[in-house]
Chain A
């Protein structure tokens, strides 16, 4: 779950009293927009991308207006704008109107857990408003702090001193930045980034940090962010129906991580273990429909449900149903294979037979009972198969699955269909 932009960012920052720019959503009426322009002189019009995508500014996707007509024109231009950056592609779903904050200084500040320090870490520079990667290291302060005591003003102070930040910005930042710890730690965030924070002069002539852009990533394993009651569809654009359905089964016993690799793939791999997941997905490449990790000893019922969902979404287009994992330490092969086999039987009962070839590679507790159960099921359904133990190299088994897939794509599928009595 990731949130970018000030529409929701300002709401979250308001929880901890961190000042933000003024924000209106796409539904804002013209008199509200006009009022914002009247008060601030200039406003920005920014497209809303669910899940977030970088480099919007460089791509010319941030509009600027000092009159209502321009603002509305920019709204029209950016409302459904498309943007590609690296592997990420996004289509806007609306715009925000944000007040332009006049400032002399722009600050970049982020909190995340840094694996070099193995501690939560503040990254800060007063040369903000640009890509942090483009700055020389001596202009950035990266300071870890104690998670037990939390993010304190002295951490900010030390950090800014280290990079020789102007004195006038230190005090307001020391006062305000520690508020972010509450948002970060108490609401289950993995990263929080404000860039830029613009240092605005307030009515009393003092500098106030005003967050003008927002990005955060929540930790999916942390239930705390659910307390924020964010709308369900805030970050769903990047999930397929299949992934959403499987995610509903996410519980702590047993992994149920899936990722759609190729919607037109022809090998569906039920993969067990993070290691197997990496190896199998790498070797299958675009032939794989999904990348999955069902390790962690899922109980029977969970495995059955997961299998039902996987088969429902992918079996029709699948040549090879590929069940693969290393030599399991803890995952009960009998229970997991029973789940997959029964779901397969149910699929055949409800959808009719499907020309398939099954390749299995596995080791672990209750292995032979598990293989036997699968064998009985496949024999009963008339599905051809090969099953390998853990004494065959996993990569060899993957290559065998690929060879079978190639054969099936070149007419083998029809041969199997004929043998199974499928017209």
Chain B
């Protein structure tokens, strides 16, 4: 109807503009030959090969500027690529269809050029989204002048299920046969996705398709509803049509149907919108909104309401739905009114069928707790493979300065490990935190008992090379971290080789079983037992004719302690049935399997971490064990406590205390010690100790995780601590020692100490002020600072507090515990303010808390002359190493599971040279 366009005459039914297609059977034919423009673009690369194969090889060539001579590989042969259409024609290719994947700014020119140089082109299919309206106008007119049917833009092309041809986009996705089943229904859709979705939906009512056509929903739809309807009438294969219509535009206003049609008109809600969301052309005025369009179709189809299962309004002419889920039923009803039966037996149904689900132990109301349903093929098989996969596999990424395990909140300065703040970690025992560092959750009581057993069983290092190495290192005058590095270096992969093999076997045996909670010993493991009894190789790893003393001891201790574990029961039964015995390493493997199993099944842990756990456990035991001198360990006992007693009645926290201070702590000391260890768990991935651990993992190459030497990662952590990081806790102790040395203090936990802390603090503040003034006058700006007061974040108020110190102080106060050293610190910050050393009242920071707790524990032996100042320093540093082991274990496993090879390196371009 364009007044001045110079179009040529096409199909008679359209006297005012050019349309070349007379029947839907001509839309996508076996004879069509295709050239794909921008064939090697990311979209086309994925879609074009599938179209080519599905259509039996209808794509003769493609273009891509600068890529002449390349090919696009497909299963049925390569598609040659040229710089431009002219070059393709010169190479002898003939084609009548141009499929356009060019980015939006180039679409108009690409179409013009292709049509200009190849007069044989009669169809152009534009997939590109967001083509400018000003370009669409030109494309329209240019196509009209050159007798070309244009499809799109922003469409997904055409597929003909009968002819097995798909041209243009990706209708039917990567498996077109699944949706494009030959039948008698033609589909016209403004939505590309719903073209396929509708084809899939009507299968459930036994209907297949002739043509599936995605028109796009830009302002310009070149081959629109009118052209489709005309061609539908002329296509004998198509008995009915489905039309999916969005608001905006008058394309459907004047349609007249000669065959049944079911229209799905959507978008009433879009009336509320003031701009396009989704399809650019789906913005409606008052006359072309969804409500109006519903009325248009109802009038055409002779119905007075929208079809729904409750109100199945339809006529022989058709029906109008507003929900695509109602299409299959409406279509069947309309066709029945015409005496037409479905094309084939219904395939599936549209009821709710969850393929995957997990309530995460939450009791959902029964109507919401829908049972999982087997997926349709081929997804069923793919999902089966998936469910057999144990544990999580995390995507790898550069983990330099990044962590999935720890983080520090910059506002509160409180660090977290797996979401647990150090303040909360401080309320858990050492063994709890060690387990959490690997499993990411705290163990229950049964798990804790098993963990204590496994950790204490291997703590005695008598006669081990690791202890020898540590001793030699100690003798040489090394710091505690260096001493422990020496012993860690000895604990290579062979240390836990058998245990790791055993874990692998146990996981494979129980994979795919119903076992979720290994504490529930009613689980029937007969299937797993038969499997391993029939597998000599696996059996030889799990049991042996001799076993060892340790294995039996742990086992007996577990039994006597009432610990429950499916894995231990399984081993016991296996040993019994095969007349063999257990080794300590195997029992350790069973315990670590027990601790991690639930999280593994719930895909929170990886197989890698599970297999590594026994090695970590051996390292935990050795860190405590080798920090104790040779002369305090013998075959039967550790620090004077028998191995059996340790296993049966000591927690690992108590053992660590014993290693450090030579005695079993009382309740208060144990609590204080746990708090101490918990507070220093982590300070985020940026700390030097974390960097050391992560660097060691990165250098071994986490992409092949089985090659990474865990012990070396601990060496990395340990060597990245030192007198300035970890050892500096002693500075505060030393400071306090000097303040209290001559005070006659006997019991720092007794508030009746008789000392005037306020006066002591004031005296020191004055002394410090004089020292500072003198130093400044002398130009010495690196004068000594008072340790553990003030903080770069908590410093701006008149009276400042470090929230972490406040938390711990409150904690102890609530327990009625008194600490003279902490009280002194509180007096000191006031005194520094009163004397003018500070302009505001400094906070007492969290490092002070660590120092005062430790000094309170050590004061008595120090005052009694049992331990030297040097031993105090060693104890302070070692305590830090014990606690920080928790955080670094988590960093090591996290980096191992997520990191890339050598990802902690810094690019040379980011390094600077300093003269």
Tell me the A residues contacting B by CB distance below 8 Å: 51, 87-88, 113, 115-120, 133, 143-149, 155, 158, 185-186, 188, 190, 219-224, 238, 252-253, 255, 257-259, 272-279, 281-283, 285, 291-293, 295-297, 299, 325-330, 332, 338, 342, 348-350, 352-353, 363-368, 371-372, 375-376, 378-380, 382-397, 400, 403-404, 407, 412, 415-416, 419-420
Contact segment of B68-76, B269-277, B774-782: B269-277
- Beta-carbon nearest neighbor of B440 in chain A: A380
Question: A275, B191: Cβ atoms under 8 Å?
Answer: yes
A-B CB contact pairs (8 Å), 24 listed? A133-B286, A144-B1, A148-B145, A190-B133, A219-B133, A222-B133, A252-B128, A257-B278, A259-B275, A278-B282, A293-B278, A325-B193, A329-B170, A329-B195, A330-B192, A380-B602, A383-B360, A386-B357, A389-B379, A390-B197, A391-B353, A393-B351, A395-B324, A403-B368
Partner of A148, one of B104, B142, B220, B267: B142
Residues of B within 8 A of A293 (CB): 277-278
Shortest CB–CB separation between residue A234 and chain B, in angstroms?
Answer: 14
Question: A273, B358: Cβ atoms under 8 Å?
Answer: no
Q: Is B250 an interface residue (CB 8 A)?
A: yes
Residues of A within 8 A of B324 (CB): 275, 279, 394-395
Contact status of A275 and B193, CB under 8 A, knowing A327-B179, A330-B169: yes
- Beta-carbon nearest neighbor of B350 in chain A: A393
Residues of A within 8 A of B138 (CB): 147-148
Q: Is B376 an interface residue (CB 8 A)?
A: yes
Bound Cα distance from A117 to B253, whole angstroms: 12
Q: Please classify the interface of chain A as helix (H, G, I), strand (E, B), loop, or mixed, using the class held by over half of its residues.
A: mixed
Residues of A within 8 A of B361 (CB): 419
Partner of B197, one of A257, A275, A412: A275
Question: B352, A326: Cβ atoms under 8 Å?
Answer: no
Q: Is B487 an interface residue (CB 8 A)?
A: no
Contact status of A368 and B129, CB under 8 A, knowing A148-B142, A326-B196: no
Shortest CB–CB separation between residue B379 and chain A, in angstroms?
Answer: 6
Question: A120, B137: Cβ atoms under 8 Å?
Answer: yes
Residues of B within 8 A of A297 (CB): 43
Q: Is B579 an interface residue (CB 8 A)?
A: no
Shortest CB–CB separation between residue B610 and chain A, in angstroms?
Answer: 14
Quick one: which of B2, B250, B393 has the most chain A CB within 10 A? B2
Q: Mark B621-632, 1 if CB is under 8 A from A, else 0.
A: 000000000000
Bound Cα distance from A372 to B395, whole angstroms: 13
Q: Mark B119-151, 1 if CB is under 8 A from A, else 0.
A: 000000000111111111110111001000000
Partner of A116, one of B131, B204, B253, B357: B253
Question: A277, B46: Cβ atoms under 8 Å?
Answer: no
- Beta-carbon nearest neighbor of B197 in chain A: A326
Question: B352, A392: Cβ atoms under 8 Å?
Answer: yes
Residues of B within 8 A of A118 (CB): 2, 17, 140, 220-222, 224
Q: Is B3 an interface residue (CB 8 A)?
A: yes
Q: Is B105 an interface residue (CB 8 A)?
A: yes
Residues of A within 8 A of B352 (CB): 388, 392-393, 396-397, 400
Residues of A within 8 A of B171 (CB): 329
Q: Mark B382-406, 1 if CB is under 8 A from A, else 0.
A: 1100100000110100000000100
Q: Is B80 an interface residue (CB 8 A)?
A: no
Q: Is B419 an interface residue (CB 8 A)?
A: yes
Q: Is B505 an interface residue (CB 8 A)?
A: no
Question: A145, B4: Cβ atoms under 8 Å?
Answer: yes
Question: A252, B133: Cβ atoms under 8 Å?
Answer: no
- Beta-carbon nearest neighbor of A133 in chain B: B286
Question: B193, A276: Cβ atoms under 8 Å?
Answer: yes
Contact status of A403 and B367, CB under 8 A, knowing A363-B200, A384-B358, A389-B353: yes
Question: A188, B370: Cβ atoms under 8 Å?
Answer: no
Question: A146, B141: Cβ atoms under 8 Å?
Answer: yes
Bound Cα distance from A158 to B351, whole angstroms: 59
Bound Cα distance from A320 to B488, whole angstroms: 48
Question: A384, B359: Cβ atoms under 8 Å?
Answer: yes
Shortest CB–CB separation between residue B396 and chain A, in angstroms?
Answer: 12
Q: Is B744 an interface residue (CB 8 A)?
A: no
Question: A386, B370: Cβ atoms under 8 Å?
Answer: yes
Residues of A within 8 A of B393 (CB): 376
Question: B360, A382: Cβ atoms under 8 Å?
Answer: yes
- Beta-carbon nearest neighbor of A186 in chain B: B134
Bound Cα distance from A374 to B385, whole angstroms: 16
Q: Is B476 an interface residue (CB 8 A)?
A: no
Q: Is B749 an interface residue (CB 8 A)?
A: no
Q: Is B364 an interface residue (CB 8 A)?
A: yes
Which residues, 326 to 362 on B, are CB-close (under 8 Å) to A?
A: 348-362
Shortest CB–CB separation between residue B33 and chain A, in angstroms?
Answer: 23
Q: Mark B189-220, 1 if CB is under 8 A from A, else 0.
A: 11111111100110010000000000001011
Bound Cα distance from A219 to B190, whole angstroms: 20
Q: Is B279 an interface residue (CB 8 A)?
A: yes
Residues of B within 8 A of A367 (CB): 379
Q: Is B716 an interface residue (CB 8 A)?
A: no
Question: B43, A144: Cβ atoms under 8 Å?
Answer: no
Question: A393, B140: Cβ atoms under 8 Å?
Answer: no
Q: Is B745 an interface residue (CB 8 A)?
A: no
Quick one: which of B46, B200, B275 has the most chain A CB within 10 A? B275
Contact status of A393 and B379, CB under 8 A, knowing A273-B192, A274-B191: no
Partner of B278, one of A224, A277, A353: A277
Bound Cα distance from A372 to B141, whole angstroms: 48
Question: A278, B273: Cβ atoms under 8 Å?
Answer: no
Question: B244, A275: Cβ atoms under 8 Å?
Answer: yes
Q: Is B911 an interface residue (CB 8 A)?
A: no
Quick one: which of A145, A155, A391 has the most chain B CB within 10 A? A391
Partner of B266, one of A282, A350, A383: A282
Shortest CB–CB separation between residue B703 and chain A, in angstroms?
Answer: 18
Question: A282, B141: Cβ atoms under 8 Å?
Answer: no
Bound Cα distance from A19 to B251, whole angstroms: 36
Bound Cα distance from A382 to B599, whole angstroms: 10
Question: B132, A219: Cβ atoms under 8 Å?
Answer: yes
Residues of B within 8 A of A328 (CB): 173, 193
Partner of A379, one of B179, B250, B602: B602
Contact status of A119 and B268, CB under 8 A, knowing A329-B173, A371-B356, A388-B353: no
Residues of B within 8 A of A329 (CB): 156, 169-173, 192-193, 195-196
Residues of B within 8 A of A391 (CB): 200, 204, 348-350, 353, 375-376
Question: B350, A375: Cβ atoms under 8 Å?
Answer: no
Contact status of A296 and B129, CB under 8 A, knowing A386-B370, A393-B351: yes
- Beta-carbon nearest neighbor of A53 in chain B: B274
Bound Cα distance from A224 to B137, whole angstroms: 15
Quick one: which of B200, B278, B367 has the most chain A CB within 10 A? B278
Question: A252, B191: Cβ atoms under 8 Å?
Answer: no
- Beta-carbon nearest neighbor of B189 in chain A: A275
Question: A282, B250: Cβ atoms under 8 Å?
Answer: no
- Beta-carbon nearest neighbor of B159 in chain A: A329
Partner of B219, one of A146, A190, A259: A190
The 4 lowest CB-CB distance pairs between A and B, nearest first, are: A275-B191, A326-B197, A273-B193, A275-B194
Q: Mark B410-445, 1 if CB is under 8 A from A, else 0.
A: 000000000100000000000000000000000000
Bound Cα distance from A276 to B364, whole angstroms: 27
- Beta-carbon nearest neighbor of A115 in chain B: B249
Q: Is B9 an interface residue (CB 8 A)?
A: no
Given A113-B133, A277-B278, A415-B362, 5 other A-B residues pairs in contact with their CB atoms under 8 A: A117-B2, A118-B224, A119-B137, A385-B356, A395-B323
- Beta-carbon nearest neighbor of B288 in chain A: A115
Bound Cα distance from A410 to B222, whole angstroms: 50
Shortest CB–CB separation between residue B37 and chain A, in angstroms?
Answer: 15
Bound Cα distance from A259 to B250, whole angstroms: 25
Q: Is B407 an interface residue (CB 8 A)?
A: yes
Q: Is B5 an interface residue (CB 8 A)?
A: yes
Shortest CB–CB separation between residue B157 and chain A, in angstroms?
Answer: 9
Partner of B277, one of A120, A145, A291: A291
Question: A145, B603: Cβ atoms under 8 Å?
Answer: no
Contact status of A253 and B42, CB under 8 A, knowing A386-B354, A407-B368: yes
